A and B are shown apart, each in its own frame.
Chain A
Amino acid sequence: MIIKHPLLGPRDAAEFVYLGDANMIKRPEGFGENVEEAMYEHVYLRENPAGEHHELWYHEQGDRSWLVVTRNTLTHEISSVELARDVARRKGRSK
């Protein structure tokens, strides 16, 4: 698989480390309501869809940026790649 890095252009997926479901960006607040249940779901449960999947890849053998890759789990086709930083900011995190 080739991942089109937004800053570095096309890179071999083997340069990256895979973390998984990009929902992991949305870490629950540590002191919120019902925090234990929210943390459990955040850490352990996964959507695991057959089709489009947003996922976190870390460019370990490159510029060490985190990317959110949108990839189809049935065909391995990648439809978009963004810096995880941009995605997180859009979600109101990490101002």
Chain B
Amino acid sequence: MRYNALSILKQGLTGNKGWAPAWREPDPKPEYDIIIVGGGGHGLATAYYLSNKFGMKNIAVVEKGWIGSGNVGRNTTLIRSNYLLEGNQPFYELSMQLWEGLEQDFNYNAMVSQRGILNLYHSDSQRDAFARRGNAMHLTGSGGVMLSEAEIREKCPYLDFDNARFPIKGALWQQRGGTVRHDAVAWGFARGADMKGVDILQNCEVTGFQIDNGVCKGVETSRGTIRAKKVAVCVAGSSGRVMSMAGMRLPIESHVLQAFVSEGLKPTLPGVITFGAGHFYVSQSDKGGLVFGGDIDGYNTYAQRGNLPVVEDVCEGGMALMPMIGRARLLRMWGGLMDMSMDGSPFIDRTHIGGLYFNGGWCYGGFKATPASGFCYAHLLAKDAPHPVATQLRLDRFRRGAPIDEKGAGPQPNLH
């Protein structure tokens, strides 16, 4: 069923009784051409683009819980394309362009809201680094302008401009950045894939791979064995755990990132604001809550919950940036698993096992990547060649001495 104004009107007048479920609940078939492991944003986007753009059929998405129960439903929903390096920036720009047409494309309201993202700087050297980043953004047509302190004062008068240690000197502003309703992204991609016949198999945990002479022939699941010509793993924070079942060690550690939402407030923030002197970022949801976060906790974990020192650190960042946040009450907080890679950049690649593909290492920036990740993974699966913007997102890049290290922090995942 396609959604449009007429269908809303019709359903409204007939008691909303005619809406059908947005996707089916099929039983697993014994075999598929392609099995995607993980029904998060990236897995569902991959299924959507495979079936809608690359004409592939006979596809299943296998999800251990319910779709959207992972990070796609836990993130702080920021999108942007303001990266620096060649291996990343064209990829994130493709993602931004896909976001811009997404709702028309998959006929679902994902509330893509390009309210802008403001990266504040506090020193001369930081200004220079941001100017360089802005120039890199212009190379891919991503936009981006440097704002003066006076221009920021007009947008957000409540920031602590004259903070004794970290005065605000200016910002890099990307107008095309913003936020998207995260759950709706999962649902929209799921519905669009289902309409093309993709089976979305929920409560179906992958417990092993069938590997025969170096070729992957299918997966063992909690709902039985399913054979496949290609198996595409896409499990974000669970990457290490799942790939170990194929005997692989990855350049990835799993960490936890926490997020926070305040009570609902009147509209105050123009878009996303990031603090340049500590790790703190904040936006305002459509319901009015301030949505904010900061650093990962910094140690290996699969527990999906963090500890108090980081809560304190994030709140200190908030107080240093916009003291008025101290008057808002915290409504809820939670954590999600991060697949932190050794250079802070992701992977979309084949593995050394035939028919087994891997997508992961998204760190805490994988939500914005969802459409491009799905598109490039679908490209790889359909054509067995990387998409032009994803040629550097390879698993062997460390062996070749070719990391994509935006921060220059080296192989220390908790610093990216």
| Chain A interface residues (CB < 8 Å from chain B) | 1, 12-14, 18-21, 37, 40-41, 43-50, 53, 55, 71, 73-76
CB distance from A49 to the nearest CB of B (A): 7
State whether A73 touches B302 (Cβ < 8 A).
Answer: yes
Asked if A40 meets B399 with Cβ closer than 8 Å, knowing A1-B307, A73-B300, the reply is yes
Q: For residue A19, which residues in chain B have a CB less than 8 angstroms away from its CB?
A: 412
State whether B253 touches A48 (Cβ < 8 A).
Answer: yes
A67 to B113 CA separation, bound complex (whole angstroms): 47
State whether B300 touches A44 (Cβ < 8 A).
Answer: no
Stretch of B76-84, B163-171, B244-252, B274-282 that contacts chain A: B244-252
| Interface set, chain B 389-416, CB cutoff 8 A to A | 398-399, 411-414
Asked if A45 meets B251 with Cβ closer than 8 Å, knowing A13-B309, A20-B413, the reply is yes
CB distance from B102 to the nearest CB of A (A): 32
Please tell me which one of the listed residues A21, A40, A50 contacts residue B302 in the complex, with CB atoms under 8 A apart: A50
- List the A residue with the shortest CB-CB distance to B305: A76
State whether B250 touches A45 (Cβ < 8 A).
Answer: yes
Could you count the A-B residue pairs with CB atoms below 8 Å apart for me: how many are there?
73
User: By DSSP majority rule, is chain A's interface helix, strand, loop, or mixed?
Assistant: mixed
A46 to B302 CA separation, bound complex (whole angstroms): 15
- List the A residue with the shortest CB-CB distance to B240: A48
CB distance from A14 to the nearest CB of B (A): 4
A14 to B307 CA separation, bound complex (whole angstroms): 10
- List the A residue with the shortest CB-CB distance to B254: A48
Q: For residue B241, which residues in chain A have a CB less than 8 angstroms away from its CB?
A: 48-50
State whether B303 touches A48 (Cβ < 8 A).
Answer: no
A49 to B252 CA separation, bound complex (whole angstroms): 11
A46 to B240 CA separation, bound complex (whole angstroms): 8
Please tell me which one of the listed residues B244, B299, B413 contacts residue A49 in the complex, with CB atoms under 8 A apart: B244
Judge if B301 is at the interface, Cβ distance under 8 Å: yes
State whether B251 touches A44 (Cβ < 8 A).
Answer: yes
Q: Which of B254, B299, B303 has the most CB of A within 10 A?
A: B299
State whether A48 touches B411 (Cβ < 8 A).
Answer: no
Judge if B298 is at the interface, Cβ distance under 8 Å: yes
Q: For residue A21, which residues in chain B have a CB less than 8 angstroms away from its CB?
A: 253, 300
Q: For residue B238, which residues in chain A have a CB less than 8 angstroms away from its CB?
A: 50
A21 to B240 CA separation, bound complex (whole angstroms): 13
| Interface set, chain B 239-297, CB cutoff 8 A to A | 240-241, 244, 249-254
State whether B302 touches A55 (Cβ < 8 A).
Answer: no
Asked if A40 meets B240 with Cβ closer than 8 Å, knowing A45-B249, A46-B249, the reply is no
State whether A18 touches B302 (Cβ < 8 A).
Answer: no
State whether B399 touches A20 (Cβ < 8 A).
Answer: no
State whether A44 touches B342 (Cβ < 8 A).
Answer: yes
State whether A44 touches B398 (Cβ < 8 A).
Answer: yes
State whether B398 touches A55 (Cβ < 8 A).
Answer: no
Can you list 28 residue pairs at the A/B interface with Cβ under 8 Å?
A12-B309, A13-B309, A14-B309, A18-B298, A18-B299, A20-B412, A20-B413, A21-B300, A37-B399, A43-B398, A44-B251, A44-B411, A45-B250, A45-B251, A46-B249, A46-B251, A46-B253, A47-B240, A47-B244, A48-B244, A48-B250, A49-B240, A50-B240, A53-B300, A71-B299, A74-B303, A75-B303, A76-B303
